[in-house]
Amino acid sequence: MGWKFRKKKNIPGGLWVKCPSCNAMLQRKKLEEAFGVCHDCEHHFRIGSRQRAASLLDEGSFVEFGNDFLPRDLLEFSGYDGTLERSRKRSGMNEAVLVGEGRMEGMEIAIGCLDFSFVGGSMGMVVGSRIMAAAEHALEKSTPLVLVAMSGGARMQEGALSLMQMARTSAAIAKLGEAGLPYVSILADPCTGGVIASFAALGDVIIAEPGALIGFAGPRVIQTTIGAQLPEGFQRAEFLLEHGFIDRICSRTTLRAEVASCLRFLSTGRQTA
Ligand SMILES: [Zn+2]
């Protein structure tokens, strides 16, 4: 099987970057300007949440909030403080999600983007609280919500507190539904575990990036548990689209226009209803 879950796909350092898919030599600056999409083969590199927010929002419109929620080692889990410290240094983030408000093609929205470079984009207490803050902000301002999920799942260092975030975030999304406010969920590579088992799977529209790995347990775990071979491409975005789990696949180059069009459609329905 060609599973490459552990293969690093974020943009490495240096002036030039080799595309892992087509081997083209890409100028790092140009690649960053293209929000991490190879101009030759459209390979999607992993990008950080600030770059992600910039790729989706009108220039200069993003205003962050929720950053006063900061992670703490509540369970005194061995090594967790060190993990957080290393992640802060490596990613320049203070948690695995960035939330705020901004404009998308002129529309006010609340937005949250997970960042895989911070403890694998895992969801602990603070990620849950920030996503709730984004949903509550949308509710308060009567705006749509857009979340980009990119995560290894629940944060094991926060144990049951981490699992509780599945219920907290799902409840926050349910309130948006009751208020008739649209929520678009974007699934980037990889989107697994407790994140896909909660808010990421609850979008009114669920859009995945091409080739993204999406699933609850990893393919190896499933294969050993059920003792059977899994079909080719199992848990990739294309397979999930074919089986009705997601609504569409969209390249990052046209994602902003696609999400904006979904939001306009859903918002128009709401006004005339
Ligand atoms: Zn390429």
Fold of 47-272: 2-enoyl-CoA Hydratase; Chain A, domain 1 (3.90.226)
Q: 201 pLDDT band (50/70/90 cuts)?
A: very high
Angle at 123 between CA 80 and CA 150, to 5 degrees: 115
Q: Which two tokens stand for residue 43?
A: 């390979």
- Tell how far the Cα of 4 is from the centroid of ligand 1, in angstroms: 16
What pLDDT, on the 0 to 100 scale, is given for residue 80? Answer: 97
**What is the rounded CA–CA span in Å between residue 239 and residue 262?**
22
Q: How many CA atoms lie within 13 A of 120 on its CB side?
A: 18
Q: 219 pLDDT band (50/70/90 cuts)?
A: confident
- Tell how far the Cα of 237 is from the centroid of ligand 1, in angstroms: 18
Q: 14 pLDDT band (50/70/90 cuts)?
A: confident
- Tell how far the Cα of 175 is from the centroid of ligand 1, in angstroms: 41
* Listed residue (128, 64, 59) closest to 99, CA to CA: 64
pLDDT at 191 over 50: yes
Per DSSP, 123 falls in state B
What pLDDT, on the 0 to 100 scale, is given for residue 206? Answer: 98
pLDDT at 1 over 90: no
Q: 112 pLDDT band (50/70/90 cuts)?
A: very high
Domain boundaries, the chain: 1-45, 47-272
C-alpha distances in Å from residue 54, one per residue of 50, 58, 104, 155, 229:
6, 7, 10, 26, 40
Average pLDDT over residues 122-131: 98
- Tell how far the Cα of 188 is from the centroid of ligand 1, in angstroms: 17
**What is the rounded CA–CA span in Å between residue 69 and residue 79?**
21
- Tell how far the Cα of 18 is from the centroid of ligand 1, in angstroms: 8
What pLDDT, on the 0 to 100 scale, is given for residue 68? Answer: 93
What pLDDT, on the 0 to 100 scale, is given for residue 6? Answer: 46
- Tell how far the Cα of 215 is from the centroid of ligand 1, in angstroms: 25
Average pLDDT over residues 69-85: 96
- Tell how far the Cα of 180 is from the centroid of ligand 1, in angstroms: 40
- Tell how far the Cα of 10 is from the centroid of ligand 1, in angstroms: 13
What pLDDT, on the 0 to 100 scale, is given for residue 34? Answer: 95
Amino acid sitting at position 171? A
pLDDT at 221 over 80: yes
Average pLDDT over residues 73-98: 96
What residues have a C-beta under 5 A from ligand 1, the ion?
A: 19, 21-22, 24, 38, 40-41, 43
Least confident of 6-20, 90-104, 112-126, 223-237: 6-20
**What is the rounded CA–CA span in Å between residue 95 and residue 39?**
31
What pLDDT, on the 0 to 100 scale, is given for residue 147? Answer: 98
Name, in order, each residue with C-beta under 8 angstroms of 40's C-beta and a sequence gap of 6 or more: 19, 22, 24, 26
